[in-house]
Structure 1
Amino acid sequence: MFERFTVSARNVVRGATAYAVRPGPGTVGEGELLLALLDGQESPGAEALAALGVRERRASVQRSLDEARRRGGLTATDAEALAGLGIDVTEIVDRVERAHGAGALDAASVPPARRGRSLRGPFSPEAKSVVERSLRVALGRGDKYIGDEHLLLAMVAKPGLAASVLAEHGVTHADVVRVLGERAAAD
Protein backbone atom coordinates (compact mmCIF):
# COMPACT_ATOMS: atom_id res chain seq x y z
CA MET A 1 0.00 0.00 0.00
CA PHE A 2 2.89 2.41 0.72
CA GLU A 3 3.80 2.39 -2.96
CA ARG A 4 0.59 4.37 -3.55
CA PHE A 5 1.62 7.09 -1.08
CA THR A 6 2.53 10.48 -2.50
CA VAL A 7 5.70 12.21 -1.33
CA SER A 8 3.65 14.33 1.09
CA ALA A 9 1.94 11.27 2.59
CA ARG A 10 5.30 9.52 3.00
CA ASN A 11 6.65 12.65 4.68
CA VAL A 12 3.76 12.53 7.14
CA VAL A 13 4.57 8.91 8.02
CA ARG A 14 8.30 9.70 8.34
CA GLY A 15 7.55 12.78 10.42
CA ALA A 16 5.22 10.81 12.68
CA THR A 17 7.95 8.24 13.18
CA ALA A 18 10.36 11.01 14.15
CA TYR A 19 7.87 12.27 16.75
CA ALA A 20 7.51 8.75 18.10
CA VAL A 21 11.23 8.35 18.81
CA ARG A 22 11.45 11.71 20.61
CA PRO A 23 10.38 11.76 24.21
CA GLY A 24 6.86 10.57 23.68
CA PRO A 25 4.85 7.42 23.32
CA GLY A 26 7.46 5.42 21.38
CA THR A 27 4.82 4.40 18.90
CA VAL A 28 3.26 6.20 15.98
CA GLY A 29 -0.26 7.14 16.96
CA GLU A 30 -2.90 9.49 15.65
CA GLY A 31 -1.31 12.38 17.53
CA GLU A 32 2.05 11.88 15.86
CA LEU A 33 0.38 11.65 12.44
CA LEU A 34 -1.49 14.89 13.12
CA LEU A 35 1.64 16.74 14.24
CA ALA A 36 3.56 15.54 11.20
CA LEU A 37 0.69 16.64 8.96
CA LEU A 38 0.79 20.08 10.57
CA ASP A 39 4.51 20.24 9.73
CA GLY A 40 3.80 19.66 6.03
CA GLN A 41 4.32 22.35 3.43
CA GLU A 42 2.57 22.87 0.12
CA SER A 43 0.51 19.71 0.28
CA PRO A 44 -3.27 19.38 0.17
CA GLY A 45 -3.71 18.13 3.74
CA ALA A 46 -1.29 20.61 5.29
CA GLU A 47 -2.79 23.48 3.30
CA ALA A 48 -6.30 22.44 4.39
CA LEU A 49 -5.24 22.58 8.04
CA ALA A 50 -3.61 25.96 7.43
CA ALA A 51 -6.79 27.26 5.75
CA LEU A 52 -8.79 26.10 8.77
CA GLY A 53 -6.43 27.99 11.09
CA VAL A 54 -5.02 24.90 12.77
CA ARG A 55 -1.39 25.45 11.76
CA GLU A 56 -1.29 28.80 13.57
CA ARG A 57 -2.68 27.04 16.66
CA ARG A 58 -0.13 24.21 16.50
CA ALA A 59 1.09 24.87 20.06
CA SER A 60 -2.46 24.49 21.35
CA VAL A 61 -2.90 21.27 19.36
CA GLN A 62 0.37 19.97 20.87
CA ARG A 63 -0.86 20.84 24.38
CA SER A 64 -4.16 19.03 23.77
CA LEU A 65 -2.29 15.94 22.58
CA ASP A 66 0.09 16.10 25.57
CA GLU A 67 -2.85 16.44 27.98
CA ALA A 68 -4.58 13.45 26.41
CA ARG A 69 -1.35 11.46 26.69
CA ARG A 70 -1.06 12.43 30.37
CA ARG A 71 -4.62 11.17 30.88
CA GLY A 72 -3.64 7.80 29.42
CA GLY A 73 -5.13 8.61 26.01
CA LEU A 74 -8.42 10.06 27.20
CA THR A 75 -9.42 13.09 25.17
CA ALA A 76 -10.94 16.23 26.67
CA THR A 77 -14.30 15.01 25.36
CA ASP A 78 -13.80 11.68 27.14
CA ALA A 79 -12.90 13.48 30.38
CA GLU A 80 -15.99 15.70 30.08
CA ALA A 81 -18.21 12.67 29.50
CA LEU A 82 -16.77 10.95 32.57
CA ALA A 83 -17.23 14.17 34.58
CA GLY A 84 -20.92 13.95 33.67
CA LEU A 85 -20.93 10.59 35.46
CA GLY A 86 -19.21 12.09 38.49
CA ILE A 87 -15.73 10.85 37.63
CA ASP A 88 -13.02 13.51 37.94
CA VAL A 89 -10.30 12.35 35.56
CA THR A 90 -7.96 15.15 36.63
CA GLU A 91 -8.18 14.01 40.25
CA ILE A 92 -7.55 10.40 39.26
CA VAL A 93 -4.51 11.36 37.15
CA ASP A 94 -3.17 13.51 40.00
CA ARG A 95 -3.56 10.63 42.47
CA VAL A 96 -1.86 8.16 40.13
CA GLU A 97 1.00 10.60 39.54
CA ARG A 98 1.42 11.24 43.28
CA ALA A 99 1.67 7.51 43.87
CA HIS A 100 3.69 6.50 40.80
CA GLY A 101 5.37 9.64 39.50
CA ALA A 102 4.66 12.25 36.86
CA GLY A 103 3.46 10.83 33.56
CA ALA A 104 2.62 7.43 35.02
CA LEU A 105 -0.41 7.06 32.72
CA ASP A 106 1.51 8.34 29.71
CA ALA A 107 2.30 5.55 27.26
CA ALA A 108 5.79 7.10 27.00
CA SER A 109 6.56 5.97 30.54
CA VAL A 110 6.47 2.36 29.33
CA PRO A 111 9.45 1.56 27.11
CA PRO A 112 8.30 0.38 23.68
CA ALA A 113 9.13 -3.23 22.92
CA ARG A 114 10.21 -2.64 19.33
CA ARG A 115 11.96 0.76 19.46
CA GLY A 116 14.71 0.93 16.87
CA ARG A 117 13.78 -2.26 15.03
CA SER A 118 11.79 -0.65 12.26
CA LEU A 119 12.50 2.34 10.08
CA ARG A 120 8.80 3.15 10.11
CA GLY A 121 8.45 2.60 13.82
CA PRO A 122 5.76 0.63 15.55
CA PHE A 123 2.30 1.89 14.68
CA SER A 124 -0.48 1.86 17.24
CA PRO A 125 -3.69 0.09 16.21
CA GLU A 126 -5.33 3.52 15.89
CA ALA A 127 -2.63 4.81 13.52
CA LYS A 128 -2.82 1.60 11.48
CA SER A 129 -6.56 2.15 11.22
CA VAL A 130 -6.01 5.71 9.94
CA VAL A 131 -3.60 4.44 7.28
CA GLU A 132 -6.02 1.69 6.23
CA ARG A 133 -8.95 4.14 6.12
CA SER A 134 -6.86 6.51 3.99
CA LEU A 135 -6.79 3.83 1.28
CA ARG A 136 -10.58 3.48 1.45
CA VAL A 137 -10.95 7.28 1.35
CA ALA A 138 -8.71 7.50 -1.73
CA LEU A 139 -10.59 4.71 -3.49
CA GLY A 140 -13.92 6.29 -2.59
CA ARG A 141 -12.78 9.56 -4.15
CA GLY A 142 -11.57 7.76 -7.28
CA ASP A 143 -7.91 8.59 -6.63
CA LYS A 144 -5.18 6.15 -7.63
CA TYR A 145 -2.79 7.49 -5.00
CA ILE A 146 -2.86 8.11 -1.25
CA GLY A 147 -2.01 11.68 -0.35
CA ASP A 148 -1.76 13.47 2.93
CA GLU A 149 -5.28 14.79 2.29
CA HIS A 150 -6.51 11.19 2.45
CA LEU A 151 -4.70 10.71 5.76
CA LEU A 152 -6.36 13.87 7.09
CA LEU A 153 -9.80 12.75 5.91
CA ALA A 154 -9.20 9.34 7.50
CA MET A 155 -8.25 11.02 10.81
CA VAL A 156 -11.46 13.03 11.00
CA ALA A 157 -13.79 10.40 9.51
CA LYS A 158 -14.16 8.47 12.78
CA PRO A 159 -13.92 9.35 16.45
CA GLY A 160 -10.39 9.21 17.74
CA LEU A 161 -7.67 11.32 19.28
CA ALA A 162 -6.92 13.37 16.15
CA ALA A 163 -10.59 14.01 15.37
CA SER A 164 -11.25 14.99 18.98
CA VAL A 165 -8.30 17.39 19.18
CA LEU A 166 -9.24 18.95 15.85
CA ALA A 167 -12.85 19.30 17.05
CA GLU A 168 -11.54 21.07 20.18
CA HIS A 169 -9.95 23.51 17.74
CA GLY A 170 -13.16 23.98 15.75
CA VAL A 171 -12.40 21.61 12.87
CA THR A 172 -14.88 18.94 11.83
CA HIS A 173 -14.98 16.33 9.09
CA ALA A 174 -17.36 18.56 7.13
CA ASP A 175 -14.89 21.47 7.38
CA VAL A 176 -12.05 19.35 6.03
CA VAL A 177 -14.19 18.02 3.16
CA ARG A 178 -15.31 21.56 2.30
CA VAL A 179 -11.79 23.04 2.29
CA LEU A 180 -10.36 20.15 0.27
CA GLY A 181 -13.24 20.47 -2.19
CA GLU A 182 -12.62 24.20 -2.56
CA ARG A 183 -8.93 23.56 -3.13
CA ALA A 184 -9.66 20.91 -5.76
CA ALA A 185 -12.07 23.24 -7.55
CA ALA A 186 -9.41 25.96 -7.61
CA ASP A 187 -6.83 23.64 -9.19
Structure 2
Amino acid sequence: MFERFTDRSRLVVKGAQDLANEMGHKHVGTEHLLLAILALGGGIAHDVLRAQGLDAQKIRAAVACPPTLDAHALESIGIDLNVVRAKIEETFGPGALDEDVPHEERHGLLRKRYLGGRFTPRAKVVLELSLREALALKHKHIGTEHILLGLLREGKGLAAKLLADAGLDFADLRAKTIAAIPKAHKEN
Protein backbone atom coordinates (compact mmCIF):
# COMPACT_ATOMS: atom_id res chain seq x y z
CA MET A 1 0.00 0.00 0.00
CA PHE A 2 2.80 2.49 0.83
CA GLU A 3 4.04 2.36 -2.75
CA ARG A 4 0.95 4.45 -3.65
CA PHE A 5 1.78 7.15 -1.11
CA THR A 6 3.15 10.41 -2.47
CA ASP A 7 6.42 11.71 -1.08
CA ARG A 8 4.51 14.26 1.02
CA SER A 9 2.10 11.66 2.45
CA ARG A 10 5.05 9.40 3.30
CA LEU A 11 6.54 12.36 5.14
CA VAL A 12 3.27 12.65 7.08
CA VAL A 13 3.43 8.98 8.14
CA LYS A 14 7.12 9.27 9.05
CA GLY A 15 6.45 12.61 10.74
CA ALA A 16 3.70 11.04 12.85
CA GLN A 17 6.17 8.43 14.06
CA ASP A 18 8.81 11.07 14.77
CA LEU A 19 6.32 13.28 16.64
CA ALA A 20 5.15 10.37 18.77
CA ASN A 21 8.75 9.51 19.67
CA GLU A 22 9.60 13.17 20.34
CA MET A 23 6.61 13.47 22.68
CA GLY A 24 7.56 10.27 24.49
CA HIS A 25 4.47 8.40 23.33
CA LYS A 26 4.78 4.66 22.86
CA HIS A 27 2.12 4.58 20.13
CA VAL A 28 1.39 6.43 16.91
CA GLY A 29 -2.26 7.42 16.93
CA THR A 30 -4.64 9.35 14.75
CA GLU A 31 -3.67 12.48 16.66
CA HIS A 32 -0.06 12.11 15.50
CA LEU A 33 -1.19 11.79 11.86
CA LEU A 34 -3.24 14.98 12.20
CA LEU A 35 -0.38 16.81 13.87
CA ALA A 36 2.08 15.63 11.19
CA ILE A 37 -0.21 16.98 8.45
CA LEU A 38 -0.22 20.36 10.18
CA ALA A 39 3.49 20.31 11.05
CA LEU A 40 4.65 19.36 7.58
CA GLY A 41 3.27 22.47 5.94
CA GLY A 42 1.96 22.54 2.41
CA GLY A 43 -0.16 19.95 0.72
CA ILE A 44 -3.91 19.86 0.23
CA ALA A 45 -4.76 18.57 3.72
CA HIS A 46 -2.57 21.15 5.44
CA ASP A 47 -3.97 23.98 3.36
CA VAL A 48 -7.59 22.96 3.94
CA LEU A 49 -7.09 22.61 7.71
CA ARG A 50 -5.26 25.94 7.98
CA ALA A 51 -8.00 27.65 5.93
CA GLN A 52 -10.47 26.42 8.54
CA GLY A 53 -8.42 28.07 11.26
CA LEU A 54 -6.89 24.94 12.76
CA ASP A 55 -3.82 25.93 14.74
CA ALA A 56 -0.90 23.49 14.79
CA GLN A 57 0.40 24.74 18.15
CA LYS A 58 -2.98 24.22 19.86
CA ILE A 59 -3.27 20.72 18.41
CA ARG A 60 0.28 19.91 19.52
CA ALA A 61 -0.47 21.16 23.03
CA ALA A 62 -3.62 19.04 23.19
CA VAL A 63 -1.73 15.95 22.00
CA ALA A 64 1.22 16.55 24.31
CA CYS A 65 -0.89 17.28 27.40
CA PRO A 66 -4.10 15.27 27.38
CA PRO A 67 -6.64 16.26 30.03
CA THR A 68 -6.03 14.71 33.43
CA LEU A 69 -8.28 14.05 36.37
CA ASP A 70 -8.26 16.66 39.10
CA ALA A 71 -7.35 14.68 42.22
CA HIS A 72 -8.62 17.40 44.58
CA ALA A 73 -12.00 17.57 42.84
CA LEU A 74 -12.35 13.80 43.07
CA GLU A 75 -11.30 13.79 46.73
CA SER A 76 -14.01 16.36 47.46
CA ILE A 77 -16.61 13.77 46.45
CA GLY A 78 -14.93 10.94 48.34
CA ILE A 79 -12.75 9.36 45.64
CA ASP A 80 -9.09 8.75 46.54
CA LEU A 81 -7.07 8.22 43.35
CA ASN A 82 -4.27 6.44 45.22
CA VAL A 83 -6.73 3.84 46.52
CA VAL A 84 -8.24 3.43 43.05
CA ARG A 85 -4.78 3.04 41.45
CA ALA A 86 -3.71 0.48 44.09
CA LYS A 87 -6.87 -1.59 43.56
CA ILE A 88 -6.49 -1.54 39.76
CA GLU A 89 -2.82 -2.55 39.97
CA GLU A 90 -3.71 -5.28 42.46
CA THR A 91 -6.28 -6.64 40.01
CA PHE A 92 -4.58 -6.01 36.63
CA GLY A 93 -0.91 -5.78 37.52
CA PRO A 94 1.63 -3.02 38.07
CA GLY A 95 1.52 -0.22 35.53
CA ALA A 96 -2.01 -1.00 34.31
CA LEU A 97 -2.77 2.73 34.26
CA ASP A 98 0.53 3.87 32.79
CA GLU A 99 0.16 6.46 30.06
CA ASP A 100 2.15 4.40 27.55
CA VAL A 101 -1.02 2.43 26.89
CA PRO A 102 -3.11 4.49 24.46
CA HIS A 103 -6.68 5.19 25.51
CA GLU A 104 -7.85 3.39 22.38
CA GLU A 105 -6.16 0.19 23.62
CA ARG A 106 -7.40 0.17 27.23
CA HIS A 107 -10.50 -1.89 26.52
CA GLY A 108 -10.66 -5.56 27.46
CA LEU A 109 -10.06 -4.97 31.18
CA LEU A 110 -6.72 -3.24 30.56
CA ARG A 111 -5.10 -6.48 29.42
CA LYS A 112 -3.55 -5.14 26.23
CA ARG A 113 -0.19 -3.39 26.37
CA TYR A 114 1.19 -1.43 23.44
CA LEU A 115 4.96 -1.74 23.05
CA GLY A 116 7.24 0.22 20.78
CA GLY A 117 6.36 3.09 18.45
CA ARG A 118 3.63 1.22 16.64
CA PHE A 119 0.46 2.47 15.04
CA THR A 120 -2.75 2.09 17.00
CA PRO A 121 -5.53 0.09 15.36
CA ARG A 122 -7.41 3.35 14.66
CA ALA A 123 -4.36 4.88 12.96
CA LYS A 124 -4.01 1.74 10.82
CA VAL A 125 -7.68 2.04 9.87
CA VAL A 126 -7.11 5.67 8.85
CA LEU A 127 -4.24 4.63 6.57
CA GLU A 128 -6.39 1.86 5.06
CA LEU A 129 -9.26 4.31 4.61
CA SER A 130 -6.90 6.73 2.86
CA LEU A 131 -6.38 4.04 0.21
CA ARG A 132 -10.14 3.53 -0.10
CA GLU A 133 -10.66 7.28 -0.41
CA ALA A 134 -8.08 7.46 -3.20
CA LEU A 135 -9.68 4.54 -5.02
CA ALA A 136 -13.17 6.05 -4.64
CA LEU A 137 -11.88 9.27 -6.21
CA LYS A 138 -10.17 7.20 -8.94
CA HIS A 139 -6.72 8.44 -7.92
CA LYS A 140 -3.68 6.25 -8.42
CA HIS A 141 -1.81 7.87 -5.54
CA ILE A 142 -2.46 8.50 -1.85
CA GLY A 143 -1.84 12.11 -0.90
CA THR A 144 -2.23 14.05 2.31
CA GLU A 145 -5.79 14.84 1.25
CA HIS A 146 -6.60 11.13 1.31
CA ILE A 147 -5.13 10.77 4.80
CA LEU A 148 -7.31 13.66 5.97
CA LEU A 149 -10.35 12.07 4.33
CA GLY A 150 -9.43 8.81 6.10
CA LEU A 151 -9.25 10.66 9.45
CA LEU A 152 -12.68 12.16 8.82
CA ARG A 153 -14.19 8.85 7.69
CA GLU A 154 -12.82 6.96 10.71
CA GLY A 155 -14.27 9.70 12.90
CA LYS A 156 -13.66 8.17 16.35
CA GLY A 157 -10.00 8.64 17.16
CA LEU A 158 -8.37 11.44 19.08
CA ALA A 159 -7.79 13.33 15.83
CA ALA A 160 -11.54 13.33 15.17
CA LYS A 161 -12.15 14.59 18.71
CA LEU A 162 -9.60 17.38 18.24
CA LEU A 163 -11.22 18.40 14.94
CA ALA A 164 -14.68 18.37 16.51
CA ASP A 165 -13.45 20.31 19.56
CA ALA A 166 -12.08 22.93 17.15
CA GLY A 167 -15.64 23.34 15.86
CA LEU A 168 -15.03 21.78 12.47
CA ASP A 169 -17.92 20.07 10.70
CA PHE A 170 -16.76 16.78 9.18
CA ALA A 171 -19.11 16.88 6.16
CA ASP A 172 -18.07 20.45 5.39
CA LEU A 173 -14.37 19.65 5.84
CA ARG A 174 -14.74 16.61 3.59
CA ALA A 175 -16.44 18.68 0.89
CA LYS A 176 -13.76 21.38 1.10
CA THR A 177 -10.99 18.79 0.89
CA ILE A 178 -12.49 17.15 -2.20
CA ALA A 179 -13.10 20.57 -3.78
CA ALA A 180 -9.43 21.51 -3.23
CA ILE A 181 -8.12 18.47 -5.12
CA PRO A 182 -8.78 19.61 -8.71
CA LYS A 183 -7.50 23.11 -7.89
CA ALA A 184 -4.24 21.72 -6.48
CA HIS A 185 -3.77 19.43 -9.51
CA LYS A 186 -4.22 22.39 -11.91
CA GLU A 187 -1.51 24.33 -10.05
CA ASN A 188 0.99 21.48 -10.37
- TM-score scaled by structure 1? 0.71
Cα distance, 1:181 vs structure 2: 3.2
Q: Is the 8 A contact 1:24 1:108 kept in 2?
A: no
Residue matched to 1:183: 180
Aligned residues: 158
Is it true that 1:106 corresponds to 2:99 in the alignment?
Answer: yes
Equivalent-residue separation in structure 1 for 2:83 and 2:163 (angstroms): 27
Aligned to 2:157: 160
Q: Let me know the Cα RMSD of the aligned residues.
A: 3.1
TM-score by length of 2: 0.71
* Aligned partner of residue 119 in structure 2, secondary structure: coil
Q: Residue 95 of structure 1 corresponds to which residue in structure 2?
A: 81
Deviation string, structure 1 residues 97-154 (Cα, Å, up to 9, x no partner): 9968xxx552269x9633xxxxxx4111111111111111111111111111111111
Matched letter for residue 59 of structure 2 = V
Q: Give the 5 Å matches for 1:97-136.
A: 105-107=98-100, 113-114=115-116, 121-136=117-132
Q: Deviations over 1:146-180 (max 9, x none)?
A: 11111111111122211111110022322322322
Q: Identity of counterpart residues, as a percentage?
A: 33
Gaps of 5+ in 2: 87-96, 103-112
What are structure 1's unaligned runs of at least 5 residues? 72-87, 115-120
Equivalent position amino acid for 2:115 in 1 = A
Asked if 2 retains the 8 angstrom alpha-carbon contact of 1:48 and 1:180, the reply is yes
DSSP 3-state at the match of 2:118: coil
Instruction: Tell me, in whole angstroms, the C-alpha distance in 2 between the residues paired with 1:99 and 1:183.
Output: 49
Q: Distance in 2 between matches of 1:173 and 1:23?
A: 27
Q: CA deviation at 1:62?
A: 2.3
Maintained 8 Å contact 2:27/2:115: no
